Amino acid sequence: MARQYQPRDFIRRAPNALLQGYLMELGVGRDVPWQHLVETHIEPVLRAYGSAPEPARHRIDTDFPEIERMGTEGGVRVLIEEGRSPFHNVNLAGVFEGLSGHLEMAFIAFHFPLSTFHFPPPNSTAGKRGEATVVRWIIFSAGVGTTTSHTPRTTQRRD
């Protein structure tokens, strides 16, 4: 049974380093004492989330549920299988080796640029960073994910 997305639960379970990287990219959480934050002490992160500007909050409220959906054993299996396809040629199993949780694996795949995994981004109109993100490319090209409130910033979903 799929876990229902709840921001508080997601933030509690997601590693602080990944939350920090993601939120700082959106300009959120600059006042959170990340270096001194214990993993389960989420109140400063929740305050940052709650006070995020509307565009950033919309993005968070779209992306975190996607990561949640893929942060399961089955979701990670799909990521690994799709990554192995000749179209993607990404060894996500190797990337995930040594990681402890499915949510962490999904978050890493979602957040980090394709160049981290040493293969060229797909032909697309890239976002500000000029790179795609792994999960959006793999999930949307495989038709696994859904987007209802925004178009992935790197590729259009293929049916």
The model's pLDDT over 43-68, given as tens digits with 9 standing for 90+, comes to 999 999 999 999 999 999 999 999 99
Q: What is the pTM of this model?
A: 0.71
Task: Give the residues across from 8 on adjacent strands.
Answer: none
- What are the residue ranges spanned by the domains of the chain? 7-60, 69-142
Question: Distance between CA atoms of 116 and 21, rounded to whole angstroms?
Answer: 14
Q: Is 145 left (phi over 0), alpha (psi -120 to 50) or beta?
A: beta
The model's pLDDT over 78-93, given as tens digits with 9 standing for 90+, comes to 888 888 888 777 788 9
Length of the chain (residues): 159
Question: Distance between CA atoms of 97 and 85, rounded to whole angstroms?
Answer: 19
pLDDT > 70? residue 8: yes
The model's pLDDT over 122-154, given as tens digits with 9 standing for 90+, comes to 444 433 333 344 444 444 444 444 333 333 333
CA distances from 98 to 5, 7, 8, 105, 118 (A): 25, 26, 26, 10, 19
Average pLDDT of the chain, as a whole number = 75
Q: Are 78 and 109 in contact (CB under 8 A)?
A: no
Phi/psi of residue 136, each to 5°? -60, -40
pLDDT of residue 86: 81
- The H or E element that residue 57 is part of is helix 54-70
